[in-house]
């Protein structure tokens, strides 16, 4: 029997193939923007969001390849957000996943364009699910969730508040808002789309959203913890970036111990909700548990 880590590696490789398959070819007069986009996507992310999507799809008995364009699309959106997040006008980070960030490698202009390109290309890719699935209404519903959770009511909304309040002392409510939207929304989209494309009931889609919301906030708090406890080598980007950018995080607000406790309790709540569903997916349970112990 495979260990969890063997299974994780095998499944991540499968996801990697799907992400690669839908990427644009690096050709034509505009090839720089393709190169910058491909560079941003193909540099060794954990592929957590497409993995969560795939496993939620399986949990709700999803069959067939209709989920694949959405798995690629969610990773393109995630990559586009990282490309823009690293820009000089945002976090001004020159390294990401152990390599030059996109703007540092291709210039600030191409960084802006590659982020834009990936965001739009994600929707072009998602629309291809129509050819691979016999329920077009689910594709439209999944695309709406993708746009909603990535956009002004989701990630971009969260980033707006984050940018505007950087350097100010935040209260718990403001911090919750930022974490729910900036990080939580895309993880919610991942699990909801898995459920939608598996033709799950409205109630099950709501449960997937609730589970993902807890996983998303726990994931962001873990990110705050690693910014303080990890090393640049392990993390692939400079540690101490929150302090450098004068950011209030869960760790600065409540301390390391309390932050660790919060990650653990949110994870338990997510797992409890997951176990109350009819279907079962042991790998998904382990994946959610792994997120607390992850080191990068
Ligand atoms: C262009 C869609 C778009 C948005 C622009 C910049 C921005 C608005 C949003 C930034 C959102 C952001 C950077 C949230 C942080 C989320 C987070 C914890 C990212 C780290 O994710 P991992 O650990 O990264 O999954 P890997 O490298 O494994 O992919």
Note the pLDDT tens digit of each residue in 87-110. Answer: 999 999 999 988 999 999 999 999
Residue 2 CA, ligand 1 centroid: distance in Å? 31
Secondary structure of residue 99 in the 3-state scheme: strand
Give tens-digit pLDDT for 220-272.
Answer: 999 999 999 998 888 887 788 888 878 899 999 999 999 999 999 999 999 99
Q: pLDDT tens, 154-178?
A: 999 999 999 999 888 899 999 999 9
**Every domain of the chain and the residues it spans:** 4-290
- Ligand 1 centre distance from Cα of residue 85 (Å): 7
Mutate to test the pocket of ligand 1, among 123, 148, 149, 183 (most ligand atoms within 8 A of CB): 183
- The domain 4-290 belongs to what CATH superfamily? Farnesyl Diphosphate Synthase (1.10.600.10)
Long-range contacts of 11-20 (CB under 8 A, 24+ apart): 11/51, 11/54, 11/283, 12/46, 12/47, 12/51, 15/47, 15/50, 15/51, 15/54, 15/71, 15/75, 16/47, 18/50, 18/68, 18/71, 18/72, 19/47, 19/50, 19/71, 19/72, 19/75, 19/76
Give the global pTM.
0.96
101 within ligand 1 shell (Cβ under 6 A): no
**Ligand 1 pocket residue status of 178, Cβ below 6 Å:** no
Cα 34 to Cα 28, 50, 72, 128, 149, distances in angstroms? 9, 21, 16, 19, 25
High-pLDDT (> 70) share of the chain, %: 100
């Amino acid at each position: 029997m495979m260990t969890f880590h063997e299974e994780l590696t095998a499944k991540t490789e499968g996801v990697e193939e799907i992400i690669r398959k839908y990427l644009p070819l690096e050709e034509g007069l505009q090839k720089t923007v393709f190169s910058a986009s491909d560079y941003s996507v193909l540099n060794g992310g954990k592929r957590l969001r497409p993995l969560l999507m795939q496993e939620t799809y399986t949990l709700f008995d999803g069959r067939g390849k209709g989920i694949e364009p959405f798995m690629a699309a969610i990773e393109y959106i995630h990559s586009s957000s990282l490309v823009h997040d690293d820009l000089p006008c945002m976090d001004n980070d020159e390294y990401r996943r152990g390599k030059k960030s996109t703007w540092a490698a291709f210039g600030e202009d191409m960084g802006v364009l590659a982020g834009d390109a990936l965001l739009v290309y994600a929707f072009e890719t998602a629309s291809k699910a129509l050819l691979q699935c016999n329920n077009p209404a689910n594709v439209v519903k999944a695309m709406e969730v993708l746009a909603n959770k990535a956009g002004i009511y989701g990630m971009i909304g969260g980033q707006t508040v984050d940018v505007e309040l950087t350097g100010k002392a935040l209260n718990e409510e403001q911090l919750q808002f930022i974490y729910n939207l900036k990080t939580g929304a895309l993880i919610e989209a991942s699990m909801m789309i898995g459920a939608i494309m598996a033709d799950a009931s409205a109630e099950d889609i709501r449960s997937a959203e609730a589970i993902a919301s807890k996983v998303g906030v726990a994931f962001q708090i873990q990110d705050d913890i690693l910014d303080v406890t990890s090393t640049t080598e392990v993390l692939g980007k400079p540690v101490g970036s929150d302090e450098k950018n004068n950011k209030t995080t869960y760790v600065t607000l409540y301390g390391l111990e309390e932050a660790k406790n919060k990650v653990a309790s949110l994870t338990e709540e997510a797992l409890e909700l997951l176990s109350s569903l009819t279907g079962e997916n042991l790998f998904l349970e382990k994946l959610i548990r792994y997120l607390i112990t992850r080191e990068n």
